[in-house]
Amino acid sequence: MLAPGFSDRVLLEQEPLLTRYFDLLVSELKSKIDGPDPGERRVDVMAYYNFTTFDIIGSDLVLGEPFGALEGGEYHAWIRNVFESIKMLGWIRLGFNYSAIGAVFSILQTLVPSFAQKRKQHMKFTKERLQKRLDSDTDRKDIIAYVHCDNDEKDGLSYEILGNSRILLTAGSETTATHLSGATWYLLTHREILRRVQDEVRTAFRTADEITLRSVGMPGRLPYLDAVIQESFRLYPSVPAALPRITGPEGAVIDGNFVPGKISVGVHQWSTYRSADNFALPNDFIPERWLPNAPQKFHTDNKEALQPFHLGPRVCLGKSLAYFEIRSILTRMLWNFDMQLEDESQHWLDKQKEYTLWDKPSLWVRLDHRRA
């Protein structure tokens, strides 16, 4: 039911709405450069990436109206709740596997009123916005249009609509903004690579209007940018842990080994992507390894090991949307701005902890209009 809403055809039909937010991001950042206070050129780009992706998923694809974060330049309360809940994901995953910890998690919800209250507010806001979207008189073919098509519930939202929408609102925004932040940090800490990808983007497009969903995704047009995106996924996967699955009752043969039934299995992404068994110089940021004419030392790289969107029938539905957003936003950032990493963010990657998703500090960057 969900898959049609994520097809390339449907997403391309949504291009005017998507482009509105891409352009608004650029406009808001340019206003920082042109403002009266020179200090405002110092921008937390991680926050602005989040503003953009959350507004897109809220306005264009799920809720039918934006959070207003990008225009307001600050996090909506609903978005703040998402980030504050990230640390609880580790407890939730443990709770699914260990009954004692599950009991501890239930007790935590009871003993920590603020957590329980924020969860209640989060659910209430989501339900109200979803109901408003479903009651609206529109023929928009957004994702909710496909979720709603078989809904026969008469007493409010069905579990399927509410549950899936909550997942889409987070997975369709936070993870994309995380990758954009990681790619930006790696580029700004590797100036030669930054210059090369910047030259490629600025040569490929004479004007900003030429940057479209189709043009940035055209095969072979931006090969080095695509290599940067892949290398950023490898070194900084948005979901660094395993994406777990459970074997069927009869068990399964995985990589030539029999695994009994009802066993949780998964591939730990961070470890896989930084293994010398899979990649030469595994801890180094080297986009060239992904180019068709890669240096000889990278010819033995196991590139199939990089699967940030997972594999099989449960592969991430939002893969095309994520690539559209990542290519479109990175291209605009490189085309429009010269960027310099602020001192306090030089060790940005080392200041993070993983709770299924990354708990990230601000990414401070000094922006200037591009030099001719």
pLDDT in tens, 185-237: 999 999 999 999 999 999 999 999 999 999 999 888 999 999 999 999 999 99
DSSP-H helix ranges across 43-158: 45-56, 69-72, 77-97, 99-111, 113-135, 143-148
How many CB atoms sit inside 10 A of residue 87's CB?
13
Instruction: Note the pLDDT of residue 56.
Output: 87
Task: Assess if residue 133 is contained within a domain.
Answer: yes
The CATH number of whichever domain residue 74 belongs to comes to: 1.10.630.10
Long-range contacts of 74-79 (CB under 8 A, 24+ apart): 75/47, 75/50, 75/51, 77/121, 77/125, 78/122, 78/125, 78/126, 79/50, 79/54
What is the domain extent for residue 21?
A: 3-239+308-369
User: Looking at the domain assignment, is residue 235 inside a domain?
Assistant: yes
pLDDT at 298: 98
Residue 154 to residue 3: CA distance in whole angstroms: 25
Asked whether residue 347 is assigned to any structural domain, the reply reads yes
What pLDDT shows up at residue 313? 80
The structure's pTM equals 0.87
Which residues neighbour 87 within 8 Å (Cβ) at sequence distance 6 or greater? 355, 359
Residue 191: inside a domain: yes
Residue 252 lies in a domain: no
Query: Which helix or strand (DSSP H or E) is residue 337 part of?
Result: strand 337-341
Helix (H) or strand (E) holding 355: strand 353-355
pLDDT for residue 155 = 45
| 3-state SS assignment for residue 242 | strand
Which parts of the chain sit beneath pLDDT 70? 38-39, 59-66, 76-78, 81, 84-119, 122, 138-160, 372
- Asked if residue 106 is part of any domain, the answer here is yes
- Number of compact structural domains in the chain: 1
Is 272 part of a structural domain of the chain?
A: no
Q: Is 316 annotated as a binding residue?
A: yes
| CA geometry: angle 322, 223, 333, nearest 5 deg | 55
Q: Is residue 83 part of a domain?
A: yes
